[in-house]
């Protein structure tokens, strides 16, 4: 079955994961923190800590009070305000993007980045001198042959999977050109090492890298050697007759299915339930990729039957079957100067009355407008010539790079008493056109937020929760979507901005509320009522999603993604 799947192994994809990103942001600001045990706090837990803290027994998802007991001299910094993390992530993204040809650079959350470097690899592969591979030069600029770095093309840079006893094993394959994929991966490994070095030297951040031919494999193999290292997944990538088994299957088979990127938690649960229903013994251990892949009659059609249905992506069975075989032909997204959406949310111990909800929406609206100004505007200087006297006048200010046209309010109710799970996966959303006054840069953020809540979001909220009481919300989310680029490669910012305003001039703000509708756009994660959002390779605001559930043992508010780990912590407090 695996041989029938089409795999595109001509690409070279790099995946970079910044080490202890939240902690590193503080360390770059204050280098002395690198020598101290440092923990970043959100809610009541340690969301990350540096390696000095880990050496002293601290770990992610630990309660703050427990962390202080384990390491009394830990330095704890608050990480609730994500502004500095967002700014640092954007700066690193732009820095790395400046090296990559073709602008195939894609962010995943704050601390991960994919790069399709195929064009760079193919160009440099053609310039290799097979008579002197040990003194090769990697060209970073087609126009300037002096820009680049020297490297040894007789061996792969950094660790590999499967682990090779000697560098000669990989070097002999490359020197004889018996493997085109191997040569491409070799060049990719040296480029990854160079980029990691530049990131540390120029920006002060370390990163772990994965090098392979697809996004899913690059991401997974990068986690083999951490931190501040990299791993290249060696061929063969496909199982052929009279040849050894694919290294891809060797690498994937022992991994738990829930650990495969692109297979969400809901899909994992459904697959595990199906397999263990006929073989309960498998439920005692984590279900692996091999368990599912070799399960009798398992294939795309069976997976489609298990995972398909209303709200499921089209062809999900084939997509999951491909991932189980390490086949991922999805492209690295083209670099964007602006995000596709901006989303702000918060979680609450109890949000059960309209006045509290309005106060929460006001805080979210202010944060959302600040994000819009930070991510969607740029400083510019406009030089105008006065024809009557022939003099030039400079006008410096800020302009919008893009304008969202839609605002979306989402709520997540708390689970009903007596339900099986402490976490609800169902969000309801309501969308409306975004009023034009939000883009007024001369008005204060707080004033705009107050007007937005008073004139729009309160009405949107009432459409989702018509009764003033009787509900209890766990999460509120406010987002802007449907971006229209104003300043881009093929556009004039001022002209398109005027056109945008002309298109919207007929929209009466007094009618916005009555015309808003409940959206079920499948391209907007979480927007469909009664359907759980299950992100795959989309740009993610997961760092904003610090939703929580109260622990039944200690009562602490724990982010939902950390619930299982926190329960394990209580059962094994000594670990």
CA 178-181-186 angle, to 5 degrees, is: 95
Residue 89 has pLDDT above 70, yes or no: yes
Q: What is the DSSP letter of 288?
A: B
pTM of the model: 0.75
> What distance lies between CA 529 and its chain's CA centroid?
23
SS3 559: strand
Residue 569 has pLDDT above 50, yes or no: yes
**pLDDT top residue among 513 and 255:** 255
Active site residues: 112
C-alpha closest to that of 523 among 475, 485, 481, 463: 481
Q: Minimum mean pLDDT among 3-7, 37-41, 224-228, 465-469: which range?
A: 3-7
Tens digit of pLDDT for each residue in 117-148?
999 999 999 999 999 999 999 999 999 999 99
Please state the length of the chain: 575
Helix boundaries (H) for 56-136 = 64-70, 83-97, 118-126
Strands 75-78 and 45-49: unpaired
Across 278-306, average pLDDT:
84
Residue 73 has pLDDT above 70, yes or no: yes
Tens digit of pLDDT for each residue in 480-524?
999 998 865 444 444 444 444 444 444 433 333 333 333 333 333
Specify the residue for token string 């560098």: 167
SS3 407: strand
Please say whether the beta carbons of 118 and 212 come within 8 A.
no
**pLDDT top residue among 542 and 319:** 319
Both tokens assigned to 142: 């087609």
- Give pLDDT, residue 391: 57
Residue 2 has pLDDT above 50, yes or no: no
Strands 112-116 and 105-108: antiparallel
C-alpha closest to that of 414 among 343, 345, 476: 476
The torsion defined by the Cα of 192, 198, 201 and 206, in degrees rounded to 10, comes to -40
Please say whether the beta carbons of 161 and 234 come within 8 A.
yes
- Give pLDDT, residue 566: 58
Tens digit of pLDDT for each residue in 516-559?
333 333 333 333 332 223 333 433 333 444 445 556 556 565 65
Q: Which domains does the chain have, with CATH numbers?
A: 10-36+73-224 (3.30.70.270), 257-324 (no CATH), 342-544 (3.30.1490.100)
Is residue 227 reached through a cis peptide bond, with omega within 30 degrees of 0 on the bond before it?
A: yes
Helix boundaries (H) for 99-206 = 118-126, 167-175, 180-198
Tens digit of pLDDT for each residue in 354-380?
999 999 999 999 999 999 998 898 877
SS3 202: helix
**pLDDT top residue among 462 and 394:** 462
131's CB contacts (< 8 A; 6+ apart) are none
Q: Minimum mean pLDDT among 48-62, 250-264, 344-358, 381-395: which range?
A: 381-395
SS3 292: helix
Q: Minimum mean pLDDT among 295-299, 322-326, 420-424: which range?
A: 420-424
104's CB contacts (< 8 A; 6+ apart) are 115, 116, 117, 331, 332, 333, 334, 335
SS3 200: helix
Query: What is the phi/psi pair of residue 406, to 5°?
Result: -130, 140
Confidence label for 101 from pLDDT (cuts 50, 70 and 90): very high
Please state, in angstroms and as integers, the Cα–Cα distance from residue 357 to each residue in 360, 368, 472, following that order. 5, 16, 10
Burial of residue 90 (number of CB atoms within 10 Å: 0-12, 13-18, 19+) = middle
Both tokens assigned to 342: 């901006």
CA 64-65-66 angle, to 5 degrees, is: 90
**Run of H or E including 96:** helix 83-97
Strands 402-413 and 473-485: antiparallel
Confidence label for 567 from pLDDT (cuts 50, 70 and 90): low
C-alpha closest to that of 411 among 356, 349, 357, 353: 357
Rounded distance between C-alpha atoms, residue 217 and residue 261, angstroms: 9
Specify the residue for token string 């279900």: 287
Tens digit of pLDDT for each residue in 409-452?
999 988 755 554 444 457 889 999 999 999 999 999 999 999 99
Rounded distance between C-alpha atoms, residue 305 and residue 316, angstroms: 10
Across 312-325, average pLDDT:
91
Strands 160-161 and 148-151: unpaired
In percent, how much of the chain has pLDDT > 90?
Answer: 56
Tell me the β-bridge partners of 288: 256
Residue 217 has pLDDT above 90, yes or no: yes
CB atoms within 10 A of CB 177: 12
Residue 156 has pLDDT above 90, yes or no: yes
* Distance in angstroms between the alpha carbons of the first and the last residue of the chain: 42
Rounded distance between C-alpha atoms, residue 364 and residue 356, angstroms: 12
């Amino acid at each position: 079955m695996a041989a029938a799947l089409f795999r595109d192994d001509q690409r070279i994809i790099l995946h970079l994961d910044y080490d202890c990103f939240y902690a590193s942001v503080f360390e770059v600001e204050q280098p002395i923190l690198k020598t101290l045990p440092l923990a970043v706090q959100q809610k009541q837990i340690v969301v990350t800590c540096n390696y000095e803290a880990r050496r002293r027994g601290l770990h992610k998802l630990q309660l703050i009070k427990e962390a202080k007991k384990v390491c009394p001299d830990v330095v704890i910094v608050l990480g609730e305000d994500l502004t500095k993390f967002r700014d640092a992530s954007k700066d690193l993204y732009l820095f790395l993007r400046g090296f990559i040809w073709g602008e195939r650079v894609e962010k995943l959350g704050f601390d991960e980045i994919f790069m399709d470097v195929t064009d760079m690899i193919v160009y440099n592969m053609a310039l290799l001198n097979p008579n002197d591979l040990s003194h090769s030069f990697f060209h970073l600029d087609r126009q300037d042959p002096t820009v680049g770095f020297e490297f040894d093309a007789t061996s792969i840079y950094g660790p590999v999977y499967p682990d090779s006893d000697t560098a000669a094993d990989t070097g002999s394959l490359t020197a004889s050109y018996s493997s085109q994929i191997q040569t491409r991966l070799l060049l990719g490994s040296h480029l990854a090492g160079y980029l990691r070095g530049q990131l540390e030297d120029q920006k002060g951040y370390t990163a772990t890298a994965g090098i392979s031919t697809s996004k899913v494999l690059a991401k997974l193999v990068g986690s083999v050697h951490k931190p501040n290292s990299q791993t290249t997944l060696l061929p063969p990538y496909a199982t052929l007759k009279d040849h050894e088994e694919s290294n891809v299957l060797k690498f994937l088979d022992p991994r738990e299915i829930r650990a495969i990127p692109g297979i969400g938690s809901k899909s994992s649960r459904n697959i595990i339930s199906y397999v263990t229903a006929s073989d309960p013994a498998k439920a005692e251990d984590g279900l692996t990729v091999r368990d599912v892949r070799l399960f009798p009659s398992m294939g795309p059609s069976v997976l489609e039957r298990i995972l398909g249905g209303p709200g499921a992506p089209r062809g999900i069975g084939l997509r999951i079957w491909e991932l189980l075989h390490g086949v991922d032909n999805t492209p690295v997204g083209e670099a964007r100067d602006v995000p596709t959406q901006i989303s702000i949310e918060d979680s609450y111990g109890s949000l059960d009355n309209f006045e509290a909800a309005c106060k929460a929406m006001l805080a979210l609206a202010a944060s959302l407008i600040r994000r819009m100004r930070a991510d969607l505007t740029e400083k510019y200087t406009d030089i105008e010539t006065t024809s009557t006297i022939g003099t030039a006048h400079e006008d410096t200010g800020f302009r919008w790079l893009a304008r969202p046209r839609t605002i979306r309010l989402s709520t997540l109710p708390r689970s009903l008493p007596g339900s099986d799970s402490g976490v609800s996966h169902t969000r309801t959303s309501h969308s409306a056109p975004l009023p034009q006054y939000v883009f007024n840069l001369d008005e204060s953020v707080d004033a705009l937020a107050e007007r937005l809540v008073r004139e729009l979001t309160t009405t949107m909220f009432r459409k989702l929760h018509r009764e003033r009481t009787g509900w209890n919300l766990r999460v509120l989310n406010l987002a802007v979507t449907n971006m229209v680029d104003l300043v881009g490669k093929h556009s004039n910012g001022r002209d398109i901005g005027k056109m945008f305003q002309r298109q919207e001039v007929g929209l009466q703000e007094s009618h916005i509320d009555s015309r808003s509708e409940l959206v079920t756009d499948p391209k907007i994660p979480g927007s469909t009522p009664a359907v759980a959002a299950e992100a795959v390779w989309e740009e993610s605001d997961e760092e904003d999603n610090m939703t929580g559930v109260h622990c039944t043992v200690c009562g602490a508010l724990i982010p939902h993604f950390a619930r299982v780990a926190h329960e394990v912590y209580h059962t094994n407090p000594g670990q």
